[in-house]
């Protein structure tokens, strides 16, 4: 595909320009994996001694994302539950463009050997804690629906749809090549009830606004049931109260159909 070879050529030329100041440079994402489309961005990771910075460039009609990080930051992604979901898969299939001391090769070897045992039960605790933070969005969605504030309810609904997907990717111990693969992977792992609610909440099925909001609340209830045993004390009460509120909203809508 011409767009793929063009993107790779851009990446290689830019890496050559950046190489003198870098410990290593790697191409990650769809361009590295050969699954890009003409509008895919070109993801370059630049390893530095110190400092971190993200930069977006426009080169020959393509968007280039430059992520400058220290080696410690790059390695840290393998111990962060949410980052690991995408970072491990991306590094397994990364294309190393500049690696004179072998730092990135060692990182890639680590990614290929990595398993969720590296994080252990901390993954479930992280996912459960995400539900605690999202309990507020459940209350807001219900409140905005009651007050007929459609835009505010829609905003809270969107937050639930996206953030719950991240939490459940960790709960399911997923490893994805990119974030683009995450949503289908979570739907497959969680099954028809989750997939159907997510499609309604995300607007895929074309259901009305209220039904979409209720679907987002149902996602929260499903996630809460899945992660209930990883919560205790006030966290347990916060999530259970929000899940109960979500269930009541669903019952109310069904009653009035």
177-197 in b/e form (b: 16+ CB < 10 A) is bbeebbbebbbeebeeebbeb
pLDDT digits (tens, 9 = 90+) for 31-57: 888 888 889 999 999 999 998 899 999
Q: What's residue 44's pLDDT? A: 96
pLDDT digits (tens, 9 = 90+) for 68-124: 999 999 999 999 999 999 999 999 999 999 999 999 999 999 999 999 999 988 999
User: Is residue 56 exposed (0-12), middle (13-18) or buried (19+ Cβ within 10 Å)?
Assistant: exposed
pLDDT digits (tens, 9 = 90+) for 137-169: 999 999 999 999 999 999 999 999 999 999 999
Most distant pair of Cα atoms in the chain: their distance: 66
Q: What's residue 192's pLDDT? A: 98
% of the chain exceeding 90 in pLDDT: 86
Q: What's residue 250's pLDDT? A: 75
The helix (run of H) or strand (run of E) holding residue 189 is: helix 182-190
CB atoms within 10 A of CB 224: 25
């Amino acid at each position: 595909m011409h767009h793929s070879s063009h993107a790779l050529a851009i990446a290689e030329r830019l890496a050559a320009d950046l190489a003198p100041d870098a410990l290593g440079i790697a191409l990650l994402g769809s361009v590295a994996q050969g699954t890009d489309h003409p509008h895919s961005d070109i993801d370059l990771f630049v390893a530095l001694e110190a400092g971190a910075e993200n930069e977006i460039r426009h080169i020959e009609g393509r968007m280039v994302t430059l992520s400058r990080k220290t080696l410690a930051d790059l390695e840290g992604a393998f111990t962060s539950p949410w980052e690991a979901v995408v970072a491990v898969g991306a590094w397994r299939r990364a294309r190393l463009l500049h690696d004179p001391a072998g730092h990135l090769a060692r990182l890639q070897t680590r990614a290929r050997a990595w398993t969720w045992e590296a994080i252990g039960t901390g993954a479930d605790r992280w996912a459960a804690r995400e539900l605690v933070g999202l309990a507020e969005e459940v209350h807001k969605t219900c409140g905005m629906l009651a007050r007929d504030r459609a835009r505010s309810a829609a905003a809270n609904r969107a937050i639930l749809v996206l953030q719950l997907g991240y939490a459940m990717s960790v709960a399911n111990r997923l490893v994805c090549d990119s974030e683009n693969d995450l949503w289908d992977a979570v739907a497959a792992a969680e099954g028809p009830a989750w997939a159907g609610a997510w499609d309604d909440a995300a607007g895929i099925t074309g259901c009305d606004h209220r039904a979409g909001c209720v679907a987002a609340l149902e996602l929260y209830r499903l996630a809460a049931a899945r992660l209930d045993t990883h919560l205790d004390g006030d966290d347990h009460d916060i999530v259970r109260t929000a899940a109960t509120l979500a269930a009541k909203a669903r019952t109310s809508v069904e009653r009035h159909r």
